[in-house]
Structure 1
Amino acid sequence: MIYAAIVGTGNISASHIQGLMTFPERCKIAALVDIYPEKAEAAKVKYQLEDAQVFDSHEALLASGLKIDLVHVCTPPSSHAQIAIDSMKAGCNLLVEKPMAPSLKECDAMLEAEKKYGVTMGIVAQNRFRNSIYKLKKAADSGLAGKVRCAHVNSLWWRGHCYYDLWWRGTWEKEGGGPTLNHAVHHIDMINWIQGGLPEEVTSVLANVMHDNSEVEDLSFAALRYEDGSVAEVTSSVVHHGEEQGIVLQCEKAKLAAPWSCVAEVTQTNGFPVPEHNRELMKELDDFYESIEDLPYEGHTGEIENVLSALENGTRPFITGEDGRKTVELITAIYKAGFQKRTVSLPILKEDEYYTMEGILKNAVHFYEKSASVENFTSGDITVGNY
């Protein structure tokens, strides 16, 4: 039996609690932690976790002597590194919500702690556990469509003006950034996974067009160039009505997309496409896609099951700290390019001031100044993406 603790009982914690509760024979929620303990108590009642103990800090949890094997870090990004390192020092394994941390320095400190204390750390990127993305990756890797030459990544969300009223949101210090870091993190992980690595160069534009109670961007456009000459564009937004997220891979022989679609062209003698497309290849791609078995669990539940299996079998989780760091590195490059209004190169080295949170804060563009905030919102529905 794996004993788990949820640190941070805000909106996203529900996905973690429900995921763990899917496997009652394998794990048990032993503790709920929040700086507002009444929120943890409310979660305890809502999910009928009668045996779970409530704490008002992760320090109190770790000092209690309660047996905890797995800590789920579901707090604001600025606190991830400290909670993670303290928990690993206490011998706990981790599943850390996205983003891993706001800076590469913090990510590296977390990775060093994982090795030092001999524990296992997973980073949440639950969309890899969605059938649409898992199967898209399989289709791209099959080679049927040829190499990816151009990718279009749309991380399109919508959040009302009051979204940034919450005390930690909309600040570079506490949230670490806007949708580039906190929403597109999912889709940036996807393009890293599909491409198999980071780009060499990044250019970006950052803007805040709808949220004047936030220091950070609410919209960004990034252009990426890879070593093999392929390119990608990433739009990160909380201003798009409809939240129509998607990823399109323009490959040598066909277009592949999630939600799933494929189109393949074949040329006429004049270079224009034949009207009926390449139906033979399209059928082959559709048949291949349909032949891929569905994942047994999707989203957070799928990733939680993978982490439980890794702990039970002594293996690595599918999404590791190294994966989380790559995502943060690309996001850092997008911010650096946007702040400096120029193309930047990767990797970002330790000597680069953008390697640290202090350097990011020193250079961050404040689109507006946050003048007022609220401690908590009343409970309400949240959106976690359409794939």
Structure 2
Amino acid sequence: MIQFAIVGCGHIAAKHVEAIQSVSGANLHTVCDTNRNNLLQFVELYGVPQWTTSFEDILNDPTVDVVSICTPSGTHAHLAIQAAQAGKHVVVEKPMALSLEDADAMIRACRKHHVKLTVVHPNRFRPAVMELQQAVKQGLFGKFSHINSTVRWNRGQGYYDTASWRGTKLMDGGVLMNQAIHSMDLLLWLMGPIHNVQAYTATMLRNIECEDVAVALLNFENGAVGLVEAATTIYPKNYEESISLFGETGSAVIGGPTANWIKHWTFEGMSKEDADSLIQRVNEDPFGIPGHQHIVADMVEAIVHDRPPVITGEDGRNALKLVLDIYQAAEHYKSTVV
């Protein structure tokens, strides 16, 4: 059994517990949080056998194989590097870090100490997205013309007020770093590297340091252009997350409140009956096996078979870099406006 320890007992940690408990070959050994009250509530809710308020206890425990980092984003790098130095494999929530320097330091530390590093980008494992990736891989779109990605969600002021670190530049980031970074990962996974970026960001409705609205125009190295729209200002609740690809011989749209449903699927040489059959099959079970479960299972297999995880530290770095490039482009735009 591969023994996992979870660090940070906030909302996202629950998905890690459920994933670990669902994967054959994985076992939840310990959870850790510096807030004792939160920790004990979490332990009681999920029936975790062992707990500690000291990260050092996990680092010094030879039975722990993997550390799952579920703490605020600004703490990821420090904890991941410590875990790697202690010989622990690392599963880290998105974004893997808030700077490329920290991301690079995490990758170097894991490489130096011969441990695996994976970043939680679970949207890759949605059934509709996997079908989309296969269509891209098979060349069904022909030459791409453009791609559109939207995250039109709601995060009210109460969400940010639940913790002092939310919405801060030092520990969290805005809608791009927090909510839309999964879409950034998908864009790069599906379309490849980006040549240049133009962007605008704004803080329109929320009392936070970072952006709650962002738009960006991307130019991919394959010649396609992309449009990104992301916001946490949608009233009164989450409205849409979507990704749309358009090419000379195919069009596809994945959407819904979360990008789990095939809304449009048309390719040259594919009959309407075949397209409708695929859409029906995917939409009957649009969530499939949870992405976190895929990631935990992949880490177990990567350790057992000594191979890299499917989602690598470099993948996490690429998504982070795109967000930072959008920030930089937006700042450049603001500096040119008189």
Q: What is the TM-score with the length of structure 1 in the denominator? A: 0.78
Name the SS of the counterpart of 1:260 in structure 2. strand
Task: Give me the whole-angstrom Cα distance separating, in 1, the residues matched to 2:176 and 2:186.
Answer: 14
Q: Is the 8 A contact 2:253 2:265 kept in 1?
A: no
Alpha-carbon distance change, 36 to 280 in structure 1, aligned in 2, over 3 angstroms = closer
Query: Out of 246, 259, 262, which is 1:260 matched to?
Result: 262
Q: Compute the displacement of 1:140 (Å).
A: 2.2
Per-residue Cα deviation, 1:28-87 (whole angstroms, up to 9, x for no partner): 2111111202212211111112x22x2223234213x35210000001111000000000
Q: Structure 1 residues 233-242 or 311-320, which shifts more? A: 233-242
Q: Which residue of 1 aligns with 2:153?
A: 157
**1:61 and 2:58 aligned:** yes
| Pairs within 5 Å for 1:206-355 | 206-212=201-207, 214-241=208-235, 242-258=238-254, 259-262=261-264, 264=266, 282-283=272-273, 285-286=275-276, 297-341=289-333
Q: Is the 8 A contact 2:13 2:70 kept in 1?
A: yes
Q: Which residue of 1 aligns with 2:66?
A: 70
Alpha-carbon distance change, 288 to 160 in structure 1, aligned in 2, over 3 angstroms = closer
Task: Give me the whole-angstrom Cα distance separating, in 2, the residues matched to 1:189 and 1:226.
Answer: 14
Task: Give me the whole-angstrom Cα distance separating, in 2, the residues matched to 1:185 and 1:285.
Answer: 29
Task: Give me the whole-angstrom Cα distance separating, in 2, the residues matched to 1:37 and 1:2.
Answer: 26
Q: Which residue of 2 aligns with 1:6?
A: 6
Q: Compute the displacement of 1:324 (Å).
A: 0.3
Q: Compute the displacement of 1:304 (Å).
A: 1.3
Residue identity opposite 1:231 in structure 2: V
**1:186 and 2:178 aligned:** no
Residue identity opposite 1:16 in structure 2: H
Q: Is the 8 A contact 1:262 1:282 kept in 2?
A: no
Q: Compute the displacement of 1:332 (Å).
A: 0.6
Q: Is the 8 A contact 1:3 1:29 kept in 2?
A: yes
Task: Give me the whole-angstrom Cα distance separating, in 1, the residues matched to 2:262 and 2:327.
Answer: 31
Task: Give me the whole-angstrom Cα distance separating, in 1, the residues matched to 2:52 and 2:265.
Answer: 54
Per-residue Cα deviation, 1:215-238 (whole angstroms, up to 9, x for no partner): 110010011001232111111211
Name the SS of the counterpart of 2:308 in structure 1. coil
Q: Is the 8 A contact 1:170 1:178 kept in 2?
A: yes
Q: Structure 1 residues 29-38 or 85-94, which shifts more? A: 29-38
Alpha-carbon distance change, 228 to 66 in structure 1, aligned in 2, over 3 angstroms = closer
Residue identity opposite 2:299 in structure 1: V
Q: Compute the displacement of 1:340 (Å).
A: 1.6
Task: Give me the whole-angstrom Cα distance separating, in 2, the residues matched to 1:329 and 1:320.
Answer: 14
Task: Give me the whole-angstrom Cα distance separating, in 1, the residues matched to 2:266 and 2:309.
Answer: 35
Q: What is the TM-score with the length of structure 2 in the denominator? A: 0.89
Q: Which residue of 1 aligns with 2:194?
A: 199
Per-residue Cα deviation, 1:311-355 (whole angstroms, up to 9, x for no partner): 122121110001000001111100001112179xxxxxxxxxxxx
Q: Compute the displacement of 1:291 (Å).
A: 8.4
Q: Structure 1 residues 99-108 or 162-171, which shifts more? A: 162-171
Structure 1: runs of 5+ lacking an equivalent = 266-277, 344-387
Which protein is richer in strand relative to its size?
2
Q: Compute the displacement of 1:163 (Å).
A: 1.4
Q: Is the 8 A contact 1:178 1:218 kept in 2?
A: yes
Q: Compute the displacement of 1:126 (Å).
A: 0.4
- What CA RMSD, in Å, does the superposition of the two structures yield over aligned residues? 2.3
Question: Any runs of at least 4 consecutive aligned residues in structure 1 with deviations exceeding 3 A, and if so which?
Answer: 261-265, 278-292
Task: Give me the whole-angstrom Cα distance separating, in 1, the residues matched to 2:231 and 2:56.
Answer: 35
Q: Which residue of 1 aligns with 2:100?
A: 104
Residue identity opposite 2:175 in structure 1: P
Q: Is the 8 A contact 1:136 1:260 kept in 2?
A: no
**1:85 and 2:87 aligned:** no
Task: Give me the whole-angstrom Cα distance separating, in 2, the residues matched to 1:312 and 1:297.
Answer: 21
Alpha-carbon distance change, 211 to 127 in structure 1, aligned in 2, over 3 angstroms = same
Task: Give me the whole-angstrom Cα distance separating, in 2, the residues matched to 1:135 and 1:184.
Answer: 21
Q: Percent identity?
A: 31
Task: Give me the whole-angstrom Cα distance separating, in 2, the residues matched to 1:211 and 1:240.
Answer: 11
Task: Give me the whole-angstrom Cα distance separating, in 1, the residues matched to 2:25 and 2:85.
Answer: 24
| Pairs within 5 Å for 1:19-168 | 19-23=19-23, 25-49=24-48, 51-52=49-50, 54-63=51-60, 65-165=61-161, 166-168=163-165
Per-residue Cα deviation, 1:260-309 (whole angstroms, up to 9, x for no partner): 133559xxxxxxxxxxxx795555555667789x8973321122111111
Task: Give me the whole-angstrom Cα distance separating, in 2, the residues matched to 1:198 and 1:184.
Answer: 17
Task: Give me the whole-angstrom Cα distance separating, in 1, the residues matched to 2:2 and 2:270.
Answer: 50
Name the SS of the counterpart of 1:10 in structure 2. coil
Q: Is the 8 A contact 1:263 1:282 kept in 2?
A: no
Q: Is the 8 A contact 2:122 2:295 kept in 1?
A: yes
